[in-house]
Amino acid sequence: MQKNDVCMSIELPYKLYKADAGGFKFKLLPKKELHEHDCQPAFHLISKDCPHNSLYEIKLDFENRRLYITTGEGVATNFALPNELMGSEEKDMWLSYYNEDILLGMGNKTFFVYPRNITGGNSADQFIGYIKFETNYGFEWIVREAPQVYNTPSVSIAINETENLHWLALDQDQNLPKNALIGGFENTPLYIARAMYSGSLCPGKYVPEEKKAYVPWGGRSHEKSNFQILCGHNADWILCKDDNIPENAFIAGTSEIHNEPLYIGRSFVDYNLIVGKVHMLYTSCYLPFNGDEVQVNEYEILVDLSVKPKGIPCRGKCKVNLTCKDISCI
């Protein structure tokens, strides 16, 4: 049997994970009994709008010591495969795509930077929301399933995906809690904050580089230096429209009038994933961005997975079972 026949005869499924916080952490484990030329591990970055739409394929070619990234339009770019990825030991790797670039690396070293707009087209214009790993003969992907798994040279987080949501104030040195929940990205990752403003306990965003939070209120984005950060990972993001709030939406604050509940929402604004507040009274999500309060009617809302709803919230127009082991559904 030829080596290609060996690869094709092993019909292992793909593994698909939701990954819309701008990055992912995973491990690559080559099987020690195999040689570099046996098979080539690859993974795909998938459109957030539909998990059947592959935007990029990233393939590690150990035989030729090259790394290939190919767009959904078939435009291929290659990079030299670094020495750190050679050998049979387990590799802890990270991938980030929260900005206009795709980066791959290990530890504090970045292996390549791929500008998404270098080729243009459909792949560059769409947002990445899923990652799909090919499981083939010779390599094993070890992935941690969680609402977010993120790692870059400047951010390294140990995830406990069953830890319930809770609020923590920053210490005097403004150190970000290790279990802080990433909510989006605006050049760099954004976290979820809440602060008092004009009588409202208002959810908003925290920008680590500025060590400040911003909350939307009254048509403007307001800077805050006294705030709390949302921590824990037993949560998920659900597509939402108008005031169709899921039963287990996480209550994050209150309004200044009648203390109506405020929830956490997020949406894309100018290619940034911004976190803000959802107010049922106005059937909208409000986002702090560039000094303004941006209003959107279609958004994602944060739900608390420790609360079991009686109904089944809608997850969007494209139905997919992320835990399915059947290759035919991808």
Going by their DSSP bridges, the two strands 91-96 and 101-106 should be labelled as antiparallel
For CA atoms 159, 163, 167, 172, give the dihedral sign. negative
Do residues 100 and 188 lie in contact, with contact meaning Cβ atoms separated by under 8 Å? no
For the residues 26-41, what does the mean pLDDT come to? 64
φ, ψ for residue 173, nearest 5 deg: -85, 5
Q: Structural domains in the chain?
A: 3-155 (2.60.120.200), 160-304 (no CATH)
Tens digits of residue pLDDT in 191-232? 999 999 999 999 999 998 899 999 999 999 999 989 999 999
The model's confidence at residue 318, banded by pLDDT at 50, 70 and 90, is very low
The token pair at 118 is: 């270098």
The token pair at 3 is: 């080596």
Residue among 147, 191, 151 at smallest CA distance from 168: 191
Q: Which residues pair with 50 in a beta bridge?
A: none
> What pLDDT score does 188 carry?
79
The model's confidence at residue 174, banded by pLDDT at 50, 70 and 90, is confident
> What pLDDT score does 313 carry?
46
Residue among 11, 54, 13 at smallest CA distance from 324: 13
> What pLDDT score does 193 carry?
96
> What pLDDT score does 120 carry?
76
Do residues 189 and 207 lie in contact, with contact meaning Cβ atoms separated by under 8 Å? no
The token pair at 206 is: 């925290």
To the nearest whole number, what is the mean pLDDT of the chain?
A: 79
Rg (CA), the chain: 21
> What pLDDT score does 112 carry?
87
